[in-house]
């Protein structure tokens, strides 16, 4: 399923939830900040015992006027249930012995009369059962949980009966009278004793006085001989053990082999056994007060005696600790009780004396408050660490003290004492600290009650909590921390019930929780408007009392309607008001005053004020926030100064949440939320368990474990119901709370009572106004915090409802489909993190749930409706639309006809378009890609882009140059581009498919026949067709930003030719902007001139090309610059052909000149490259020449002249039109001499050829201008070189003839040079060299008369004949070299004859 993106408009702001989460964290920390029992007793270390009970604050009186709670109920009225009538008759048959006891685990009392035992339900006196199968007097009885895997499942308990002769184990089972009764509700089920004993062993004449079992099924018995025995049993006999046997742990380990009559009798029988199942320790108390400690080991299955303290030793220790107390108060110990790890980490045992003194012991040494306990410490000693005196030991005590205590019970810091008043009546004392939780010292209330008979035994009735959280791995280590005070757990833990058994029957009494006390006060006073209820709020502090009243106000019982109203009134009436710290300290009522002084501040207080822990906030205090600054001193103040101060006060009173002391109402709400979610808030949401063997895991998943919800279904259901009730409470009272806007109550104003008045007693109008502003500011901060808490409660309800729904649909199966990274997130998430930061994970879970339906081809309507009902903010209306669209998309994949498939796809597209701005577009587009619905891809993405930017801010941001300070514009611009990217990503996939070679062979993955080709695989031709269709559809849109994104993609993919084919008004602005904002991007400039050329905008193309050519950059070579200029010239010429503008003509001329200079620069570049060496100046020169176009002057001066490039200098001079005859002649001489120098090592013929080619190549360039091709100078220079090198005399004039220099002109030049009589020829000893060349030239003419045009030929022949005559005369007059002269005369005579014939022939 395509999921919605986070941050939809309907979603709750994460910051608001985080702030509410901070409040919850603070309350959680406060609830965990209760001190350890040893701390409240003032025990710093095991070597520093302490004493308490001698201060008035140890047992504060609630009846004093300052408290006003004399009628505060602490115990419920006693319920008396008489013994069954059948038992009364049995007393008349008693002969030897009578014993009574309680089995509170099964709500039964027992009575033995001689050899018979009777068991009945002490709640109503019914279900009487008996066993009379023994022949001896029953001495004691015990009920034990059996060891596992030994007996049949129907045997739930074992009853151990001890007689002087034997010890018997009986099986106890229960029948269900009704199917709706829980299996563990033994009080409502019928008990049956199996008639035949399971085990029976001889007692060896040892009298057993009591029997106690452990949680793991071990049975310990207290012997009258002072020894501790254990009855062991197993399924079958072993080599060295029997099925059932008796072990004496007070002697050697082989004592079971020795008959008991061989032991000397002891005079100190064991009177009581107490077991600490949490630490696996057994304590025993003898009749003379000796206390012994036995260690059962870490696993609870071993046994060793650790230590024993005699009564005298204990009394001496107690007397040393409480030196002012009479030692007789410690003389007789009547009761011991093990203190479990859930009650204290350091205190292990409480012993009660006959005067009600409690002695606290530890079995291990500890030092300091912060000592860490691992739970593996074993007992090593027994040390008295504290003496707690009962009421009546204070200096001014008037109340009586307990005396003649004969029965006691200690549990969870509550002590019940039965003190004999008369032989037929007892006084029941109850001492409990529940009214003073979180105090640094132990403070207890006392209450007494008359019992009209002598109590034989006291026991606490096990109560099943409303919800029992299982042991689970938590984010923090909480296992080492003792249970919190009852006020923290009173919403789940029922009130403690105790049963007192006597010969008159059973007495049931309840110790009321604070919530029970408040309920009773409301009932007794018929409402909340009474001093007693107000005093209750004072006693428990506002926040604790408000949290307690919320239990009643949020009750779901219809019978509690009146109580709910009264509790609501009390909540608002006595919950206090918020205030800015330092303003308007709350005034205490005159009749209350400070309660019990201020010497026992609550844990977490820094100034004695409850709940003053600063609440974290995401905001920071504003400047000038000084709430503690006092106002102007009272008295006459000038008006201006007063006005100025008022303005300062207005600026100052703008508090943040950390500056506000929230009201008890708000704190109580946070506390109540914390306590409702206490067992799950910081627990990990999921846990792992191995995949069952019948569910093999696919290899691709690599999952060996499943994830399942770690919360029990009952636990989630209960928490959800309670939080829903709390949410409904806020809705019902929206007029008095601040979350009316959240829950749809527009008339809601504030979280204050209508009759609230500002605290404090103002003495001036200014002070009063200042306090009013401070109060209003505090109210505003609390309103905001309460709204956030409302959001948090709703969010928690939705997350719990989602978990409940996921569990119903097999959580492990849904979690297995999550992405691995999401699964890892889920593993590490507590409920807190899931609620506050788990929106994405919740969305993934919902998506997986919806996909489960879609994968099963099931309709999503029902599950969507359910999700909208239980978690509307996690699964919004848009999510439901998305699910329906996904369902249609999935169904289209299986459609049989093309038309039906397109119809479904179109319907899904219309649904997706409704929520396109919140969709995970990439996922939807991939689905459409699989369905080959590319029209839908383009349409959906463009729709999403438009909806994400309804005000078209992105195009404004784009056209303004994407300024970085425009954050809003940048945000929507990026949002649009994300939508466009989905289209281009699909097009890129199609492009890659179209570019794939269909005929390319693929390597086989495994041996065997080739794999069957996939008929659904897209071919390259299909991909090409699809991408062309997508391009056509995309280009048809008027979304300019999308065109920009599309053009960017075409450029990135190298499809520039396709871009130039686009006929759109957005192409030119795109290319112009790209060249403007990215001037270094040559590709864009290339595209721009090509676009102009393609659209026949030749002037613009020419300008771009010229700009490219003149660009200073090493990215463009000189050759490319010339090409750009050449194209620019072509474009300019094309432009002049279409229009005849003078400006365009000038531009063309300018381009042509630049092209000519550029070619010169290329010539210079090539020349430098040709002569370049390792010298860096050559590399620098080449780099400069290649990086930009230069003018002629720079080319000549910096390069041609510097590197002596004669040809280049000649070309530059020619191009510039500069004429200097000497310079030109010098340059030609340098060129010729350079060529001769470079060919020194070559043959003469090769040198002639090379020099001829150079002359011809340069002559073709300059021969049209006599200035730059001085033929006469060159002829003379070359002839001189030829003479010096003794080369052939014909090559010079033939080279010039090849340059189309007229032969007649050459003759005239040679003739002039001959007649000039240059001394060179004499020096060279070749005075007739030129004459020989003239002779050869004329001979060439005779052989090729066409060398002279026909109309000049006669005249030329005549001139030649005249010249020959003069040559002959000069030769004849020469006396030197007669042989040469004769030969030349002969040649001239021949030439004369030929010329004459030619003349005659004309």
How many CB atoms neighbour CB 59 within 10 A? 22
Whether the Cβ atoms of residue 247 and residue 232 lie closer than 8 Å to each other: yes
User: Structure pTM?
Assistant: 0.70
pLDDT tens across 353-372, in order? 999 999 999 998 888 665 65
Sheet holding 333-338, edge to edge: 50-52, 383-388, 358-362, 349-353, 333-338
CA atoms within 13 A on the CB side of 1003: 1
Q: What is the pLDDT of residue 800?
A: 95
**Cα Rg of the chain, angstroms:** 56
CA 1156 to CA 1260: how far, in whole Å?
A: 17
pLDDT of 820 above 80? yes
Burial class (CB in 10 A: 0-12, 13-18, 19+), 1145: middle
Q: Would you list the DSSP string of 1141-1160?
A: -HHHHHHHHHHHHHHHHHHH
Q: What is the pLDDT of residue 1093?
A: 81
Whether the Cβ atoms of residue 218 and residue 294 lie closer than 8 Å to each other: no
- Can you read off the two tokens belonging to residue 263? 């032991």
Burial class (CB in 10 A: 0-12, 13-18, 19+), 245: middle
Is 665 or 994 the better-scoring residue by pLDDT? 665
pLDDT of 1275 above 80? yes
Helix (H) or strand (E) holding 1181: helix 1176-1187
CA 216 to CA 235: how far, in whole Å?
A: 15
How many CB atoms neighbour CB 770 within 10 A? 24
Give the list of residues 6+ apart from residue 561 with CB closer than 8 angstroms, or none: none
Q: What is the pLDDT of residue 302?
A: 93
pLDDT-based confidence at 348, cuts 50/70/90? very high
pLDDT of 617 above 50? no
Give the list of residues 6+ apart from residue 1391 with CB closer than 8 angstroms, or none: 1335, 1338, 1339, 1342, 1360, 1364
pLDDT of 748 above 70? no
pLDDT-based confidence at 1322, cuts 50/70/90? confident
**Weakest-pLDDT range from 62-66, 252-256, 1263-1267:** 252-256
- Can you read off the two tokens belonging to residue 786? 């309460």
Query: β-strand 349-353 against 333-338: which pairing, if any?
Result: antiparallel
Helix (H) or strand (E) holding 1118: helix 1118-1138
Which range is most confident: 67-76, 563-572, 947-956, 1142-1151?
563-572
pLDDT tens across 163-203, in order? 999 999 999 998 877 666 777 788 788 888 888 899 999 99
Mean pLDDT of the chain: 82
Burial class (CB in 10 A: 0-12, 13-18, 19+), 1173: exposed
Which range is most confident: 10-14, 627-631, 944-948, 1008-1012?
944-948
What value does the mean pLDDT take over residues 1103-1107? 80
Helix (H) or strand (E) holding 705: strand 705-709
pLDDT of 1182 above 60? yes
Among 219, 239, 238, 237, which residue's Cα sits nearest to residue 229? 219
pLDDT tens across 706-736, in order? 899 999 989 999 999 999 999 999 988 876 6
pLDDT of 1087 above 50? yes
CA 370 to CA 379: how far, in whole Å?
A: 20
pLDDT tens across 1161-1172, in order? 787 787 778 887
pLDDT tens across 528-561, in order? 999 999 999 999 999 999 999 999 999 988 888 8
Burial class (CB in 10 A: 0-12, 13-18, 19+), 577: buried
pLDDT tens across 846-897, in order? 988 988 887 776 777 888 888 988 988 888 888 888 888 888 888 888 777 8
**Structure letter (DSSP) for residue 301:** -
Among 267, 276, 308, which residue's Cα sits nearest to residue 290? 308
Adjacent-strand bridge partners of 425: 422
Give the list of residues 6+ apart from residue 327 with CB closer than 8 angstroms, or none: 315, 318, 319
CA 1090 to CA 1074: how far, in whole Å?
A: 14
Q: Hunting for tokens 């097009």 — which residue is that?
A: 987
Q: What is the pLDDT of residue 1137?
A: 56
pLDDT-based confidence at 599, cuts 50/70/90? very low
What value does the mean pLDDT take over residues 1088-1096? 80
Whether the Cβ atoms of residue 795 and residue 21 lie closer than 8 Å to each other: no
**Structure letter (DSSP) for residue 836:** H
CA 1288 to CA 1244: how far, in whole Å?
A: 9
User: Among residues of the chain, what percentage have pLDDT more than 70?
Assistant: 85
Whether the Cβ atoms of residue 660 and residue 653 lie closer than 8 Å to each other: no
φ, ψ for residue 248, nearest 5 deg: -95, 110
Q: What is the pLDDT of residue 237?
A: 63
pLDDT of 1047 above 70? yes
Among 535, 533, 541, which residue's Cα sits nearest to residue 568? 533
pLDDT of 1237 above 60? yes
What value does the mean pLDDT take over residues 789-811? 93
Helix (H, G, I), strand (E, B), or coil: what is residue 885? helix
């Amino acid at each position: 399923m395509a999921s919605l993106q986070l941050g939809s408009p309907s979603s709750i702001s994460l910051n608001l939830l985080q702030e509410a989460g901070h409040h919850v964290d603070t309350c959680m920390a406060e609830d965990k900040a209760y001190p350890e029992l040893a701390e409240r007793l003032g025990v710093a270390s095991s070597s520093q015992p302490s004493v308490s009970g001698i201060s008035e604050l140890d047992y504060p009186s609630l009846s004093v006027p300052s408290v006003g709670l004399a009628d505060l109920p602490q115990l419920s009225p006693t319920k008396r249930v008489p013994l069954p009538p059948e038992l009364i008759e049995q007393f008349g048959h008693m002969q030897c012995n009578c014993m009574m006891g309680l089995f509170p685990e099964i709500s039964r009392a027992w009575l033995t009369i001689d050899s018979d035992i009777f068991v009945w339900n002490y709640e109503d006196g019914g279900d009487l059962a008996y066993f009379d199968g023994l022949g001896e007097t029953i001495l004691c009885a015990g009920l034990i949980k059996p060891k596992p895997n030994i007996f049949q499942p129907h045997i739930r308990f074992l009853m151990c009966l001890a007689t002087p002769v034997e010890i018997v184990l009986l099986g106890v089972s229960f029948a269900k009278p009704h199917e709706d009764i829980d299996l563990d509700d033994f009080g409502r089920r019928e008990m049956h004793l199996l008639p035949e004993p399971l085990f029976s062993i001889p007692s060896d004449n040892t009298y057993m006085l009591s029997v106690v079992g452990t949680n793991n099924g071990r049975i310990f018995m207290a012997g009258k001989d002072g020894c501790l025995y254990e009855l062991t049993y197993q399924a079958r006999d072993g080599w060295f053990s029997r099925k059932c046997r008796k072990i004496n742990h007070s002697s050697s380990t082989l004592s079971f082999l020795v008959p008991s009559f061989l032991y000397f009798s002891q005079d100190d029988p064991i009177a009581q056994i107490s077991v600490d199942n949490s630490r696996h320790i057994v304590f025993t108390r003898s009749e003379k007060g000796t206390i012994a400690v036995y260690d059962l080991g870490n696993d609870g299955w071993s046994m060793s005696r650790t230590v024993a303290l005699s009564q005298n030793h204990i009394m001496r220790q107690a007397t040393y600790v409480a030196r002012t107390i009479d030692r007789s108060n410690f003389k007789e110990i009547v009761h011991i009780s093990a203190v479990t790890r859930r009650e204290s980490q350091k205190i292990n045992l409480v012993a009660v004396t006959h005067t009600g003194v409690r002695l606290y012991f530890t079995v291990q040494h500890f030092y300091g408050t912060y000592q860490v306990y691992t739970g593996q410490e074993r007992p090593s000693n027994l040390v008295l660490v504290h003496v707690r005196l009962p009421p009546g030991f204070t200096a001014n005590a008037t109340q009586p003290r307990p005396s003649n205590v004969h029965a006691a019970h200690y549990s969870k810091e509550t002590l019940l004492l039965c003190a004999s008043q008369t032989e037929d009546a007892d006084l029941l004392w109850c001492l409990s600290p529940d009214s003073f939780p979180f105090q640094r010292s132990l403070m207890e209330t006392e209450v007494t009650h008359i019992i009209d008979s002598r109590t034989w035994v006291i026991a606490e009735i096990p109560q099943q909590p409303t919800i029992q959280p299982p042991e689970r791995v938590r984010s923090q280590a909480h296992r080492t921390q003792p249970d919190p005070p009852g006020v923290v757990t009173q919403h789940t833990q029922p009130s403690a019930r105790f049963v007192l058994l006597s010969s008159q029957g059973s007495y049931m009494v309840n110790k009321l929780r604070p919530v029970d006390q408040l309920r009773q006060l409301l009932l007794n006073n018929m409402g909340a408007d009474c001093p007693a209820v107000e005093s209750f709020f004072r006693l428990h502090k506002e926040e604790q009392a408000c949290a307690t009243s919320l239990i009643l106000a949020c009750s779901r019982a219809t019978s509690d309607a009146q109580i709910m109203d009264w509790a609501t009134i009390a909540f608002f009436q006595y919950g206090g008001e918020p205030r800015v710290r330092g303003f308007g300290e709350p005034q205490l009522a005159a009749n209350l005053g400070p309660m019990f002084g201020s010497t026992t501040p609550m844990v977490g207080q820094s100034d004695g004020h409850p709940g003053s822990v600063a609440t974290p906030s995401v905001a920071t205090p504003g400047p000038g926030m000084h709430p503690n600054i006092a106002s102007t001193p009272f008295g006459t103040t000038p008006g201006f100064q007063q006005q100025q101060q008022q303005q300062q006060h207005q600026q100052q009173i703008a508090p943040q949440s950390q500056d506000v002391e929230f009201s008890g109402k708000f704190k109580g709400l946070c506390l109540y939320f914390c306590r409702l979610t206490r067992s799950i808030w910081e627990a990990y949401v999921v846990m792992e368990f191995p995949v069952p063997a019948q569910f093999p895991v696919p290899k691709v998943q690599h999952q060996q474990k499943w994830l399942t919800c770690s919360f029990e279904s009952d636990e989630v259901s209960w928490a959800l119901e309670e939080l829903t009730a709390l949410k409904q409470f806020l809705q019902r009272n929206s007029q008095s709370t601040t979350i009316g806007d959240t829950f749809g109550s527009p008339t809601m104003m504030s979280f204050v009572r209508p009759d609230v008045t500002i605290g404090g007693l103002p003495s001036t109008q200014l002070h009063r106004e200042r306090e009013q502003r401070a109060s209003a500011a505090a109210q505003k901060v609390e309103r905001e915090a309460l709204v956030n808490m409302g959001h948090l409660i709703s969010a928690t309800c939705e997350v719990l409802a989602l978990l409940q729904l996921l569990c119903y649909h097999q959580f492990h199966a849904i979690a297995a489909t999550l992405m691995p990274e999401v699964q890892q997130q889920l593993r590490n998430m507590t409920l807190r993190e899931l609620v506050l930061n788990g929106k994405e994970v919740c969305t993934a879970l919902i998506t997986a749930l919806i996909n489960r339906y879609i994968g099963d081809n099931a309709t999503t309507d029902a599950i969507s409706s359910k999700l909208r009902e239980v978690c509307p903010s996690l699964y919004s209306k848009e999510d439901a639309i998305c699910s329906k669209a996904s369902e249609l998309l999935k169904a289209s994949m299986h459609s049989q006809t093309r038309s039906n498939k397109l119809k479904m796809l179109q319907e899904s597209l219309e649904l997706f378009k409704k929520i396109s701005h919140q969709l995970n577009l990439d996922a939807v587009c991939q689905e459409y890609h699989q369905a080959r619905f590319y029209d839908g891809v383009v349409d959906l993405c463009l729709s999403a882009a438009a909806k994400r930017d309804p005000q078209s801010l992105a195009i404004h941001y784009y056209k303004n140059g994407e300024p970085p300070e425009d954050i809003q514009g940048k945000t929507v611009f990026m949002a649009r581009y994300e939508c466009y990217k989905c289209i281009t990503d699909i097009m890129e996939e199609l492009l890659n498919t179209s570019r794939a070679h269909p005929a390319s062979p693929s390597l086989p993955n495994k041996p065997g026949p080739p794999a069957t080709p996939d008929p659904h695989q897209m071919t390259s031709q299909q991909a090409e067709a699809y991408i062309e269709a997508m391009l056509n559809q995309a280009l048809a849109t008027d979304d300019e930003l999308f065109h920009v994104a599309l053009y960017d993609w075409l450029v990135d993919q190298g499809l520039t030719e396709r871009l130039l084919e686009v006929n759109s008004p957005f192409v030119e602005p795109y290319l112009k902007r790209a060249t403007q904002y990215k001037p270094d991007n040559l590709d864009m400039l290339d595209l721009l001139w090509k676009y102009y050329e393609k659209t026949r905008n030749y002037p613009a193309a020419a300008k771009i090309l010229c700009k490219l050519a003149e660009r200073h950059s090493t990215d463009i070579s000189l050759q490319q610059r010339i090409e750009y200029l050449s194209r620019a010239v072509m474009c300019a010429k094309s432009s002049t052909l279409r229009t005849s503008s003078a400006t365009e003509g000038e531009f063309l001329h300018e381009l042509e000149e630049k092209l000519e200079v550029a070619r010169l620069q290329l010539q210079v570049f090539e020349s430098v490259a040709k002569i370049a060496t390792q010298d860096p100046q050559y590399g620098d020169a080449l780099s400069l020449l290649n990086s930009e176009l230069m003018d002629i002057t720079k080319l000549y001066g910096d390069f041609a002249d510097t590197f002596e490039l004669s040809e280049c200098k000649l070309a530059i001079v020619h191009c510039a039109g500069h004429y200097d005859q000497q310079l030109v002649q010098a340059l030609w001489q340098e060129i010729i001499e350079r060529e001769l120098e470079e060919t020194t090592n070559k043959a003469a013929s090769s040198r002639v050829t090379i020099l001829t080619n150079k002359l011809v190549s340069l002559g073709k360039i300059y021969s049209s201008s006599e200035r730059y091709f001085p033929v006469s100078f060159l002829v003379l220079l070359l002839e001189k070189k030829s003479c010096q090198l003794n080369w052939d005399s014909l090559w010079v004039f033939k080279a010039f003839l090849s340059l189309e220099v007229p032969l007649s002109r050459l003759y005239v030049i040679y003739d002039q040079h001959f007649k000039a009589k240059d001394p060179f020829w004499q020096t060279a000893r070749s005075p007739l060299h030129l004459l020989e060349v003239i002779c050869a030239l004329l001979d060439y003419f005779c052989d090729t008369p066409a060398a002279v045009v026909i109309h000049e030929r006669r005249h030329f022949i005549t001139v030649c004949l005249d010249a020959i005559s003069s040559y002959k005369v000069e030769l004849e007059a020469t006396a030197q070299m007669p042989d040469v002269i004769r030969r030349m005369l002969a040649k001239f005579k021949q030439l004369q004859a030929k010329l004459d014939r030619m003349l005659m022939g004309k």
